[in-house]
Amino acid sequence: MLAETRHPFSLITKNALVERDLDLLAPMARENLVHVYFSITTLDNALSSRLEPRASAPHSRLKAVKRLSEAGIPVGVMFAPVIPWVNDQALEAVLDAASAHGATAAGYVLLRLPHEVAPLFRDWLQTHLPDRAAHVMSTIQQLRGGKDYDSRFGKRLSGEGVYADLLARRFALALKRAGFRERRHPPLDCSRFVPPRAPSPQGELF
């Protein structure tokens, strides 16, 4: 439907199965109607399987980045979520690998723990990383004004404080070193949209 109506859109996924839509995405990309972003949290398969047990392995996502890029589809990578003392050390390696596979834009998002997500994450830490669980949560609370989560616009994605500032600087340096020119792709073309129904000689009420 999006292809038929020339409706621009962006995808963000953790799954290499997006390649199944290559025959639809490539023609739309030629008309500047689509971007695809892959969320890659680590290059460590063992950690990835614990963090994202139902997602494609990191190497599979990178292969998909390359295949989509070679088909002319603008591809970006999101290092998300950034979890202090869990996967933050992989920032530079993920950006380097993504760039080498054809990604042309990159961003990051700090871990967010709204509402019922916080206790679930605490349980995950106790199960998989009990030795550093307290340290991880302490750093997260430093980023969130002493709480598990801060929903304020402009703060919820990046946090605030010393760790947040250092992460932002690391990301800017890694972005430049990996050869990325931008954090986001240029705007999509919204002028090609065609309503999904034939014009009526009687006009329309809505």
Chain-centroid distance, C-alpha 178:
17
Check residue 160 and give its pLDDT.
95
Assess if residue 186 is contained within a domain: no
Assess if residue 135 is contained within a domain: no
Check residue 115 and give its pLDDT.
92
Assess if residue 43 is contained within a domain: yes
Domain hosting residue 10, numbered range: 2-113+152-177
Determine what percent of the chain is predicted with pLDDT higher than 70: 96
Assess if residue 165 is contained within a domain: yes
Check residue 29 and give its pLDDT.
97
CA distances from 80 to 5, 45, 51, 112, 118 (A): 31, 16, 11, 10, 16
Q: Residue 29: which H helix or E strand, with range?
A: helix 22-30
Q: List the CATH number of the domain containing 87.
A: 3.20.20.70
17-44 pLDDT tens trace: 999 999 999 999 999 999 999 999 999 9
45-74 pLDDT tens trace: 999 999 999 999 999 999 999 999 999 999
Mean pLDDT of 7-25: 96
Q: Treating both helix axes as pointing N-terminal to C-terminal, what angle do 22-30 and 58-70 enclose, rounded to 10 degrees?
A: 50
Q: Provide the whole-model pTM.
A: 0.90
Assess if residue 193 is contained within a domain: no
Q: Residue 37: which H helix or E strand, with range?
A: strand 34-39
Total number of domains in the chain: 1
Assess if residue 198 is contained within a domain: no
Tell me which residue of 76, 63, 65, 56 sits closest to 14, measured CA to CA.
Answer: 56
Check residue 204 and give its pLDDT.
63
Assess if residue 50 is contained within a domain: yes
Assess if residue 160 is contained within a domain: yes
176-201 pLDDT tens trace: 999 997 788 999 999 999 888 776 76
Distance CA 54, CA 50 (A): 9
